[in-house]
Structure 1
Amino acid sequence: MNKLVLILGSVLMTYGFSEFTAEESVASSANPTADSLVYLEPKPEHASETFVIVNLLNRYHYRKIDLDDSLSSVVFDNYFESLDPNKSYFLKSDREYFEKYRYTLDEHFPEGNLDFGYQLFSVYRERSLARIENIYNLLEKEPDFNQDQYFETDRDKLPWAETHAELDSIWVKIIKNQAMSYKLAGKEWPDIADALKKRYQRVEKALYQYNSEDVYQAYMNALTSAYDPHTNYFSPIAKENFQIDMSLSLEGIGAQLTQQLDYTKVADIIPGGPAYKSKQLQKDDKIIGVAQGDDGEFVDVIGWRLDEVVQKIRGPKGSIVRLQIIKHNKDINSLPDTLRLVRDKIKLEKSAAKGEIIPITEGNQQYQLGVITVPSFYLNFEDMNKGVKDYRSTTRDVRKLIDSLNVKGMDGLVIDLRYNGGGSLQEAIELTGLFIPDGPVVQVRNTDNSVEVMKDTDGGKVFYDGPLAVLTNRYSASASEIFSGAIQDYKRGVVLGENTFGKGTVQNLIDIGRYMQQKDVDLGQLKMTLAKFYRVSGSSTQLMGVSPDIAFPSPYEDENFGESGRPTALPWDEIRTTKYDPTNTISDQMIVHLRKLYNKHLQTDEDLADLQKDVERVRKLREETKVSLNLEERKAQEQQESETEADLSTTLQPSEVFTDEVNSEKLSEDPYLKEALRLLAELSKNKIG
């Protein structure tokens, strides 16, 4: 297992890079001509590279599936989806023409035959360029914003357009919908038309600048994602961006970015940074606009190169940047959210665990309850390998925090793992070891079906044996799920909050050049799923995640948030239970008692009741995918949605570090934590008594 490069956090998925600068695109008033359109075909090395990729997937991918007609069909659909996810460029006849390839790709890939990938991209580019010419014509005249029209933002529900005229009518609504966002911001038509024209000039420029590597990467990702959503191919330039010194991205908002065709996507959030603290920017959100300061104009960055967008977002500590974002669970044609962030210098201390004592009173008894927030499972490998005595790690920091909280008379402890996307597997195991005696923490099944049991080996010592609760939400993933699952299986503590994300797989990075003779050619990289995590009980954390003992109101539907929302995600399954000795600190009777108490609080606690109402309103709003194209009706629609989302966003944000003078009003700002503490107080009764 130690041979693997473990990647337990978020995943980068990229489909292509545009080789042009934003300034060149905006400055260029003349459209490229058909004469400058380069015919794209595979490079000489792509055939043998494909052969290597197919063999690596067949031999080493965890999911033992054959590259057959069934998988060929999945790749076929994946590629169409990656190029035209909103069914706004291809016609039904295009799909029908290419249907002849649906069940033949399994024969093509081993032969290095990439005809389908390049042919379909050529048609996509042709359709897109023709569509952009039509868009320029649409922008010559202001649309009527007083008409009672509606636009279906979830185009996945609808069939492919059968005629160009049908696509024309769809694009009338798309452009009107895009213009509406500017209109709601108070812009007049000349400025709106100019902004949209520049946007599509950038897109047009990108279409002319795509190269063979861009197409190859998009096509290979259609293949790799058919195995599972975390297996990806990186072209040489994408590999370079993936391996870039991340210190560059830490000066600013604390987010790693990647590119998917014309859009900049959030690949990961750095714990402790402005984006992390906001809780409003998440993995896979698309950034479509950037503004400087509180008064700066938004610059449309659709079609920009990744490094150009990064330069716009980065800036000196203390300065303000505003982002327009399309949430990961929304269609690209939805109205963007606006996020205001104060740039900062991200340091390890800011992403490290933090702790505080929160005194609360329940039943005329005061409890001194500790809260330790763990934003990620971190380990300073460099200092550890150098032999630095006090190197930083999650477990080391939590030990110190527990000591300091015990000095203050801690009666019980909450480990807050909300928004913790994972990190070091070693740290997840060692942190679990602070709360249990010696024993297994997680099982890892490898691609050859061998199972490795990974144990806590600290000599049987239990560093903290008091009342324990673990607080999770839908964004608690990977290493967070290993820790919370172990605490639950050992019956050592109670897990509260939301169901976790459900990422229970392990990836390894493989340089394709290692398997090829062409030493003078820069080749890509394959990130491939090689193993799967299982709890000591034998249940996988994959797909299902960790279900809390007591579930709090959650705005996240399983089908849209988390691993279960990904069509090719590996399934949940079970293996044999490994031998372990539960502590039985938490009994089944205690769980039943706490659930009854929680249900009582749900009826009587104003903060919980308000949270549940907000959650229900947001869920209902998310079910509605039609938006009005009538200005006044849209204003009312957006006002209602923004107020509801803002209320819930504020409510769901974990509070900053409390002081000992925390009052009930302050605690009400974080009803999840408040309820976790109330239930922990019940667990602490025996200790106090």
Structure 2
Amino acid sequence: MKRYNFKNNLVILFLVTLLSVTACSFTTKDFDEDSDRDQVLIELITYVIEQGHFDMREIDDDFSQAVFKDYVKGLDPIKRHFLKSDFEEFEAFETQLDDQINNKNLIFFDLTVNRYKKRMAEAKAFYGELLEKPFDFTETEQINTNYDDVDYAENTKELKERWRQQFKFSTLSTFHDLKEEQEQQIEDGEDVEVKTDAELEEEAREITRESTENYFDTMSDLERKDWFSLYINSIVSQFDPHTNYFAPQDKDRFDISMSGKLEGIGARLQKQRDNVKIVEVISGGPAWTNGELEVGDLIQKVKQEDEEEPVDIRGMRLDDAVDLIKGPKGTQVSLTVKKVDGSTKVINIIRDVVEIEETYAKSSTVEKDGDVFGIINLPKFYFDMQNYNNRNAASDIKKELERLNEVGAEGLIIDLRNNGGGSLSTVVDIAGFFIEKGPIVQVRDAKNNTEVLRDKDADVIWDKPLVILVNELSASASEILAAAMQDYKRAVVLGSEQTYGKGTVQNVVDLNRWMRNSSFGDMGALKITTQKFYRINGGSTQLKGVESDVAVPDRYSFIDIGERDYENPMPWDKIAPADYKVWEGYENLDKVIAASKERLSSNKQIQLIEENAKWIKRQRDQDKFSLNYESYNEEMEMVENMAQRFEGINKFKTNLTYNSLPYEQTIMQKDSSLTQKRNRWHESLAKDVYVEEALNVLKDLNIAKNSSKLAARKE
């Protein structure tokens, strides 16, 4: 059984990051073969969790209430189907679900699904009349999109009014986009048939109608097993955010994603209420190459290159949205995206497969004040599942370190920003390149058995200054490396206030291993949290992540993006520290850190980035929107103006020049595509204020001449 580490996961994954490979052992159990398949599945999953979860939570009334809340919210996230009377009827079961789970009772599940189907049919019958007449965008009207604060509709009349407002909001947004597009075409001198506002409103309303019809068609195709997967995941997610059930069809997608052969835009998506959110841009993929899509963006519409109009995917199932976004290599998809700063942008991406080479470590040199420094970018901690001795992150990093030594680099930056994790073995090996023998990370299981993973090789590849760059998206394995180097005082960690904060280990368990009777069919798989990571100083990386020595704001500083922002995260805790000795190589570490903080406090670029981050936070917190065109247009103009104001962030440039190492320059003479990729990376580095400050830190760090420089295990 393979163990996997996920930075985040709710439904469908485009990319899975491997953590380590272990055996997963659970005792066997007999199940009543005459039971209903769903009853057996509940019994099977609760049994596996009881046997293997790191922190088994008691299934009691509190647990029941949490399942109730998450499941009902998952069924109707924006409260446009259930009435208040439905919810009140459901509430009778709020503290009974623990008993129903233990007794394999599905009364509550059946009630909610049947009621949902009934309300869906009713909405399908009346939505057409709401879109027959034009919307009046001159009225003063407002919609509240904070659905947690909105109660369920009292009656059908109130529910229809809720649908009307949502239709009007969607139509207003499209109307605004169509009007803007027409004005731009006229300004550009294009030969365009000018449409009146009434015609544009009708066109926008028709797009809303088509989107709604697609929504109802999609929901009509759902089967009982789809709803049951939602119910099961509402149960298992109470243990922690990373324990997740894969239904057979989702397990197939999981297996496919492991092959790395999916063609598409190269991003991992997550359902967030009615929106499709970007949660990871995969290094080497087309979205990464394009450079315009970023974590936190919401995809609203998808347009194929051979179609005239985009499809609105808000409210669409994630599976179906994914099917629209992915496609054959070489084809173009146009995504209408609401950016993290609130602005709207159409991004054109040519679909492709992930370029494997761009997921590997790469290095560059840069000269500053007469000294040569190196930078290594590591997108993930990769390895070959079949044979660890094949190419992996550790072996590649070692080669790059040796090459940087050969060219006389005086200091090194390891860039772990956006690195979501990977192989634990490679982390231990990489950490060992910077210290003598010693512990790197501690791993504890549910029975409080603690294993200390050590570097056992006394050789040190790099004994010069080291800075590690991190951000809020540096997760899991990245946090282990940064934490170890920080605990040893071997490196200065520079970046976000804290990293992602995922300090848990998951196993993916095939549930079919317990089933002797094949009449139930494929039972799917369960991803279950079985272990927890701890730093060598004893503190967990869970929840708190790694706090940077030099904390610097970035565009994600004030928005919900880390482990702490999910429901039911496992807590931070502490165990006994491992036996280790700090590095004694720096003679001015504290002074350098203080000087860096002082420099950054008056850095104009950093101040602009922080201002932008606060603006993004305000935009994402906004939940009331005008349904009056003039007011809506003023708001959109203000958003666009602010977005333009912050374009200066991307225009920042240092006077530093980056160069590939000699071995790569030789390859580039014959490979123009590699030249283009490296030029793009070097241009990005030259605009990077964080890298610039990391170089300042390296320049300031002094190696002690009369000390035992290398960290080591205490004897």
State TM-score, norm by structure 1.
Answer: 0.85
| Pair 1:192-2:191 in alignment | no
Question: Is the Cα–Cα contact under 8 Å of residues 279 and 296 in structure 2 kept in the other structure?
Answer: yes
CA displacement, residues 500-538 of structure 1 (integer Å, 9 cap, x when unaligned): 111111111112222233224221211111111111111
Would you say 1:100 and 2:92 are equivalent positions?
Answer: yes
Partner SS for 1:452:
strand
Displacement of 1:625 after TM fit?
2.3
421-430 vs 508-517, which moves further: 508-517
- CA 15–549 in structure 1, closer or farther in 2 if over 3 Å, else same: closer
Query: 2: distance between equivalents of 1:249 and 1:146?
Result: 50
Task: Find out whether 1:324 has 2:324 as its counterpart.
Answer: no
Q: For 1:647-658, what aligned pairs fall within 5 Å after superposition? A: 651=649
Q: Which residue of 2 aligns with 1:600?
A: 599
Counterpart residue type for residue 675 of structure 1: E
Other-structure match for 1:425: 424
- Match of 1:173, SS state, is helix
Cα distance between partner residues in 2 of 1:395 and 1:682: 28
Counterpart selection for 1:669 from 687, 694, 711: 687
Aligned partner of 2:666 in structure 1 is: none
Larger mean CA deviation between 54-63 and 563-572 belongs to 54-63
Match of residue 504 from structure 1: 503
Q: Shift of residue 565 of structure 1? A: 0.6
1:14 equivalenced with 2:11 (yes/no): yes
Residue 675 (structure 1) shift: 2.0
**Aligned residue for 2:377?**
373
Say if 2:264 and 2:325, in contact at 8 Å, map to a contact too.
no
Partner SS, residue 381 of structure 1 = coil
* Structure 1 residue 359: Cα displacement: 2.0
Letter in 2 for 1:678: N
SS of residue in 1 equivalent to 2:256: coil
- Deviation, 1:392, is 1.8
1:395 and 2:394 correspond: yes
Question: Which segments of 5 or more consecutive residues in structure 1 lack a partner in the other structure?
Answer: 17-41
CA offsets, 1:536-555, max 9 Å, x none? 11111111111101110133
Deviation at 1:179, TM superposition (A): 1.2
CA offset at residue 85 of structure 1? 1.8
- Please give the secondary structure, in 2, of the residue aligned with 1:555: coil
Q: Are 1:463 and 2:475 an aligned pair?
A: no
SS at 1:541 equivalent:
coil
TM-score normalized by structure 2?
Answer: 0.82
- One-letter amino acid of the counterpart of residue 310, structure 1: D
Q: In structure 1, how many angstroms separate the alpha carbons of the residues matched to 2:645 and 2:366? A: 24
For residues 268-667 of structure 1, the aligned pairs below 5 Å read 268-277=280-289, 281=293, 287-292=299-304, 297-301=309-313, 303=316, 306=319, 309-310=322-323, 312-317=325-330, 319-325=331-337, 337-360=345-368, 365-382=369-386, 384=387, 391-458=390-457, 460-498=458-496, 499-520=498-519, 521-556=521-556, 560-586=560-586, 590-603=589-602, 605-642=603-640, 644=642, 651=649, 659-660=658-659
Q: Using the alignment, how far apart are the partners of 1:81 and 1:203 within structure 2?
A: 18
Alpha-carbon spacing, 1:44–1:211, altered in 2? closer, same or farther (3 Å): same
Change (3 A) 1:367 1:615: farther
Shift of 1:667: 5.5
Corresponding pairs, count:
642
Please give the alpha-carbon distance, in whole angstroms, between the structure 2 residues aligned to 1:65 and 1:153. Answer: 33
Distance 2:683 2:510 in 1: 54
Contact kept? 1:125, 1:207, Cα under 8 Å: no
- Measure, in 1, the Cα distance between the counterparts of 2:456 and 2:652: 33
Is residue 2:101 matched to residue 1:109? yes
For 1:261 and 1:615, how far apart are their aligned partners in 2?
Answer: 23
> Structure 2 regions of 5+ residues with no counterpart?
14-33, 180-199, 661-678, 706-715
2:709 alignment counterpart: none
Q: State how far apart, in whole Å, the 1-side matches of 2:594 and 2:218 are.
A: 55
SS of residue matched to 1:575: coil
SS at match of 2:363: strand
Aligned partner of 1:608: which letter? Answer: I
Aligned to 1:59: 51
Alignment identity in percent? 32
Corresponding residue for 2:20?
none
- Aligned letter for 1:195? I
State the Cα RMSD in Å: 3.3
Give the CA deviation at 1:117. 1.5
1:659 aligned partner, one-letter code: Y
Per-residue deviation at 1:304? 6.4
The 2-side partners of 1:607 and 1:49 are apart by: 55
Seen in structure 2, the aligned counterparts of structure 1 residues 406 and 343 have a Cα distance that, compared at 3 Å, is farther
Q: Distance in 2 between matches of 1:554 and 1:101?
A: 45
How far apart in 2 are the matches of 1:654 and 1:345? 31
SS of corresponding position for 2:370? strand
CA distance in 1, matches of 2:119, 2:651: 43
Summarize deviations over 1:417-436 as a string: whole Å, max 9, x none: 11111111111111111111
> What is the deviation of 1:653?
11
Q: Does 624-633 or 638-647 show the bigger shift?
A: 638-647
Q: Cα deviations across residues 271-311 of structure 1 (Å, max 9, x unaligned)?
A: 22122355664668654422245996423345368378436
SS at match of 2:376: strand
CA–CA distance in structure 1, aligned partners of residues 336 and 657 of structure 2: 31
Distance (whole Å) between structure 1 residues aligned to residue 176 and residue 586 of structure 2: 53
1:55 to 1:647, Cα distance in 2 relative to 1, 3 A? farther
Per the TM alignment, residue 259 of structure 1 is displaced from its structure 2 partner at its CA by: 6.9
